[in-house]
Amino acid sequence: MNGIHDMGGMHGLGPIEAEKNEPVFHARWEGRVLALTFAMGATGKLGYFRYYLERIPAVDYLRMSYYEKWFAALVERLSLSGLVAREEIETGKRARGSPKATPALPASQVLQLIAPRARTQPQGGPSHFQAGQRVRARNIHPVGHTRLPRYARGRQGLIERDYGLFGFQDTDADGHPLGPKPQHVYSVRFAARELWGEQASPRDYLYVDLWEDYLEPA
């Protein structure tokens, strides 16, 4: 979706404020939100995380801190999962008679979640583009989640490298995955001037990782 999250190239979002000796979490609740997101994600019953982050209204997205957004997305995904009723979240109390579950992520399995073995390469078709080939990122504007940033759409670049097969991550307008339909992901090298015009340095390049469905020959 053409949302506020797709912010590459925007102006006016303020100065970069780097904090010296920044802690990993600024408050206890931040770490709990991260952990709850993982622990509940292990149920396999929550909707696609990034889609729900991107559904946060733009004004809220800019105002909220990082883990506030995670929390908002978690609450929304829990409510839609059927695991927790909205009323339970509002009152903080388990509904009478609701079934008692078994945690999907017991403490004994945490390390396995954090450090899984190497991923297995999905099966899929051959690549349709080769290193050095000129391609154009398609000028598409899907209403669901997409990993093709707006600033690259319609622009030409060169295939730098074929990274192999990866599951497609786009969703439809309601957040349902369009994938997995595994396909090749390429590093595509765009001249900064192709993207930003004469104001950009002629020496600079952007490398964007793009699924085959995002590309056409140029």
Partner 1 sequence: METSRRGTAGGAAAGSAHGAGHRHDHDHQAVPSDLTLRVKSLESLLVEKGLVDRAALDALVDAYENKIGPRNGARVVARAWTDPAYKQRLLTDANSAIAELGFSGQQGENMVVLENTPKVHNLVVCTLCSCYPWPVLGLPPVWYKSAPYRSRAVIDPRGVLNEFGTEIAEDIEVRVWDSTADLRYLVLPERPSGTEKLTEDELAALITRDSMIGVAKVAPPKSGG
- What's the token pair of residue 145? 């989640």
3-state DSSP helix/strand/coil % of the chain, to nearest 5? 30, 15, 50
Q: How far is the CB of 94 from partner 1 (least distance, A)?
A: 5
Single residue of 68, 162, 194, 213 touching partner 1 by CB under 8 A:
68
Q: Which residues, 167 to 196, sit near partner 1 by CB under 8 A?
A: 185, 187, 192, 195-196
3-state secondary structure of 45: coil
Q: How far is the CB of 25 from partner 1 (least distance, A)?
A: 7
Single residue of 163, 172, 180, 218 touching partner 1 by CB under 8 A:
163
- What's the token pair of residue 90? 């509002």
Single residue of 82, 97, 116, 132 touching partner 1 by CB under 8 A:
116
Q: How far is the CB of 87 from partner 1 (least distance, A)?
A: 11
56 interacts with partner 1 by CB under 8 A: no
Give φ, ψ of 190 to 5 degrees: -110, 135
Q: Residue 166 forms beta bridges with which residues?
A: 183
Single residue of 44, 82, 96, 119 touching partner 1 by CB under 8 A:
119
1 interacts with partner 1 by CB under 8 A: no
- What's the token pair of residue 122? 């999905």
88 interacts with partner 1 by CB under 8 A: yes
The answer to whether 87 touches 111, Cβ cutoff 8 Å, is no
Q: How far is the CB of 147 from partner 1 (least distance, A)?
A: 5
d(CA 201, CA 102) in angstroms, rounded, equals 56
Residue 48: HSE in the Cβ half-sphere, 13 Å Cα cutoff:
20
207 interacts with partner 1 by CB under 8 A: yes
Q: How far is the CB of 133 from partner 1 (least distance, A)?
A: 18
